[in-house]
Amino acid sequence: MQIDWWTLGLQTVNALVLIWLLSRFLFRPIASILAEREATARLLLDDAAAAKASALTLEEQARAAVDAMSADRAATIRAATTEAKDARDRLLEAARADADRMRADMRAEIERAERSARRAEAERASLLAVDIARRLLERLPASSRVVGFIDGLVDAIAALPETSRADFATRGEPTLTAPRPLTAEEDALCRERLENALGRPLKFALRVDPTLLAGLELENAHTSIRNSLRADLEQISATLLTEPENER
């Protein structure tokens, strides 16, 4: 085989020129473009990584904000629940107090009404008793309205302490109350029996009070001795008023 060196050299020169041209106008621009694209890609990757990190940070912040909001909401709910419970307890306590006060007022009103009714009944009974007693006394001798009560008055005087009996004779003039004017015989009998009971002379002023109905009452500034039908009726009326109270 015979080699044509001129042809080989020419081909070699052509190859070198081609390689230089490719390197000058193709490989270097492509390498530059690739380097720029690689830098751009790296920059984009860095930006993406930064964006991802920022997104993660925002996500963490959002989660923390949600947790904080949940905690605040739970605290708000607890506070509202506690406040509502306290308000309910206050309302219930106020309602119970109002109910107790209303029951007490109603009980007091009922008791007042009962007392008023008892008082009215006692007054009616007293008036009826007075009317009955007056009608009965009209059928009896007039002397029985006085003479029949002298012994009871004398017994009441005898039951007094000595100092109280002495008080009638020494401290002013006592008053003897009768349902009608006394006859001379009744006046003398009263003075005699009263002086015997007191053990000393006695001067008294006579006062007429028809509301006594029957009986005698002796009194001074300190002591009152009542032996009359009016006193008995008043005692009965007072008993009618006090007996229901004692039963409570």
**What's the confidence (pLDDT) of residue 28?**
67
DSSP tag of 204: -
CA atoms in the 13 A half-sphere facing the CB of 168: 29
In tens, the pLDDT along 24-68 reads: 666 666 667 777 777 777 877 777 777 777 777 877 877 877 777
Task: Say if CB 186 and CB 143 are below 8 A apart.
Answer: yes
Q: Confirm if 178 and 205 have CB atoms less than 8 A apart.
A: no
DSSP H or E segment with residue 178:
strand 175-178
DSSP SS3 for 215? strand
CA distance 241 to 201: 41
For tokens 């109350």, name the residue. 177
Task: Write the pLDDT tens digit of every residue in 85-109.
Answer: 887 888 778 878 877 888 887 788 7
pLDDT tens by residue, 158-202: 888 888 887 776 767 889 999 999 999 999 999 899 888 888 887
Domains, the chain, ordered by start: 141-238 (3.30.2320)
Mean pLDDT of 209-236: 87
- CA angle 234/237/240 to nearest 5° reads 155
